[in-house]
Structure 1
């Protein structure tokens, strides 16, 4: 791997974390020069990272306007959650038919990490909550499902960052625990019911809140820097 590619990967990972942990809110501008200066890399490396994030649906790049964190609409929110419910039901049904040998242990380990992040009041808890659903998809072994779930989880995170009202993350963790118990018993009906309730609860938290004032991008990114050299 070239040095430039390595630097671009590091920027991509840092920006992705900052977006999914809602430090970078929807609509925030992502200037290539500011990103390059913060990470001490060229604008080319910054641009490559932004292009990857755009392909993930996390960033929008417009001609003559540059890049910004993607800003979903309420209409898109309705569609995203409708699709997500269908996709996650398919994940549950597949896992109840064939759960990998170490699948339950992997899910339990992830929830423990969620609990540690919550106790530490870390923004990682937001990202980890979404990654729990991606892990479920990964356990199916279906690349298409993994890709689709990753995309809708990312879009859901953006929707909540823009429209979501505060809630207790403990509720989400409790539902993850209950879901694991249902999967352990291969109880597809209960597991689907828990997942549907969980996703409806997430969707119901949406409300309009366009207040996006916050710290400068360089200040935010300095907290998310990974090794880029």
Structure 2
């Protein structure tokens, strides 16, 4: 059962959401495992309505998926799905970078540095949840700097999918290469060097595929 003092700080649906997500990260729930609503109610002490809200959000994020015969299960992802997602990100993000170079400002650069420094910190403490968040936030700055609603829409979906893959399948957050590529991306934005930035994005993308054991 979740402690009462934790419940006071969060909404009831947040409690259920974090319980399920933590269970997946800690490998208590595996891809393909059924998530039983009643079990979550008993474990967290929150209502069915709150659990359903959490399940809906986790389905939207791609962490869970609905199956007509088995109810809601932890999502499975094929190697082909994962590699395809990274390849799509490479195409979208390298093109987005061209627009970002034109629109980037000092505040955006400050945020990117802050997120990359966060990656350095969590890589020392093996905190996969924060690692995924900082990584997504870093790349999201590129998307928002395009000021293009379509790039933002589709890159947001791609970033959400990649965040799920990293939570499920990445076994390490000690990735100095990715942090170095991020620094190169920042430098390229400051210098207005499109080709340098694109090359760093491609290298960082391939690094992500390798981290998931895919080449």
TM-score by length of 2: 0.78
- Are positions 1:79 and 2:84 aligned together? yes
Gapped regions of structure 1 (runs ≥ 5): 1-5, 209-229
- Post-superposition offset of 1:186: 1.4
The match for 1:180 among 186, 196, 201 is 186
The match for 1:59 among 60, 64, 68 is 64
Question: Is the Cα–Cα contact under 8 Å of residues 72 and 158 in structure 1 kept in the other structure?
Answer: no
TM-aligned CA distance change 1:132 to 1:68, over 3 Å? farther
TM-score by length of 1: 0.74
Question: Is the Cα–Cα contact under 8 Å of residues 137 and 146 in structure 1 kept in the other structure?
Answer: yes
Q: Could you say what secondary structure the match of 1:102 adopts? A: helix
Distance, in Å, in 2 between the alignment partners of 1:148 and 1:15 is 28
The match for 1:199 among 183, 187, 205 is 205
TM-aligned CA distance change 1:41 to 1:142, over 3 Å? farther
Taking the TM superposition and a 5 Å limit, the aligned residue runs for 1:141-160 are 141-160=147-166
The match for 2:139 among 109, 133, 141 is 133
Question: Is the Cα–Cα contact under 8 Å of residues 71 and 162 in structure 1 kept in the other structure?
Answer: no
CA deviations over 1:92-126 (Å, ceiling 9, x no partner): 11111111341101111111111121222322224
- Are positions 1:104 and 2:109 aligned together? yes
TM-aligned CA distance change 1:106 to 1:131, over 3 Å? closer
The match for 1:93 among 98, 123, 126 is 98
- Post-superposition offset of 1:32: 1.8
- Are positions 1:50 and 2:55 aligned together? yes
- Post-superposition offset of 1:41: 1.1
* Higher RCO structure (Cα 8 Å, ≥6 apart): 1
CA RMSD of aligned residues (A): 2.8
Question: Is the Cα–Cα contact under 8 Å of residues 32 and 73 in structure 2 kept in the other structure?
Answer: yes
The match for 1:190 among 172, 183, 196 is 196
Question: Is the Cα–Cα contact under 8 Å of residues 65 and 72 in structure 2 kept in the other structure?
Answer: yes
The structure with the greater share of residues assigned to helix is 2
TM-aligned CA distance change 1:42 to 1:126, over 3 Å? same
Number of matched residues? 201
